[in-house]
């Protein structure tokens, strides 16, 4: 189990984090993206989403090691890197051909900072 920092999209409320230095992830609405890995990540966002200071960073506990996250990215498994909001999960269920998967697996703990 490791704690990582994720960014919450103010539009779709997904939590997104970059798994490796080379990884680039976007939320479901594609308004927010992250890259740069666990140590030095960068955030990009659509200009209509408001100010960058309005994005919410949270700490998330993920049941993975840095190597497991790297392999998830390298082999395009995409089991990690995004934690879908309830709104996005409902939308994803409507599209059976969707390949998006939540970042947390059964037994993982979502733990926003300060809660």
Is 111 contained in some domain?
no
| Confidence at residue 37, expressed as pLDDT on a 0 to 100 scale | 92
Model confidence at 92, pLDDT cuts 50, 70, 90, reads low
Average pLDDT for the chain: 78
Domain assignment of residue 88, given as a range = 2-94
Q: Is residue 104 part of a domain?
A: no
Mean pLDDT value of segment 10-38: 92
Domains identified in the chain, total number: 1
Q: Residues 51-82: pLDDT tens digits?
A: 767 777 889 899 999 999 999 999 999 999 99
Q: Which has the higher per-residue pLDDT, 100 or 25?
A: 25
- The band of 27, judged by pLDDT with boundaries at 50, 70 and 90, is very high
pLDDT of the residue at 39: 85
28 found inside a domain: yes
Q: Is residue 105 part of a domain?
A: no
Question: 47 in a domain, yes or no?
Answer: yes
User: Is residue 17 within 8 Å of residue 81, measured between CB atoms?
Assistant: yes
Quick check: is 100 in a domain?
A: no
Burial class (CB in 10 A: 0-12, 13-18, 19+), 76: exposed
Q: Is residue 7 part of a domain?
A: yes
CB 16 within 8 A of CB 5: no
Measure CA of the first residue to CA of the last residue in the chain; give whole Å: 18
Q: How far is CA 43 from CA 37, 48, 112, 113, 114, in A?
A: 11, 15, 18, 18, 22
């Amino acid at each position: 189990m490791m704690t990582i920092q994720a960014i919450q999209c103010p539009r779709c409320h997904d939590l997104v984090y970059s798994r490796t230095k080379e990884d680039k992830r976007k939320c479901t609405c594609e308004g927010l993206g992250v890259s740069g890995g666990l140590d030095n990540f960068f955030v990009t966002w659509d200009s209509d989403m408001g100010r960058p200071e309005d994005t919410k960073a949270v700490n998330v506990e993920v049941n993975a090691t840095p190597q497991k996250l790297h392999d998830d990215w390298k082999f395009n498994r995409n089991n990690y890197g995004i934690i879908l909001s309830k709104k996005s999960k409902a939308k994803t269920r409507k599209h059976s051909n969707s390949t998006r998967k939540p970042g947390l697996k059964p037994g993982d703990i979502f733990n926003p900072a300060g809660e």
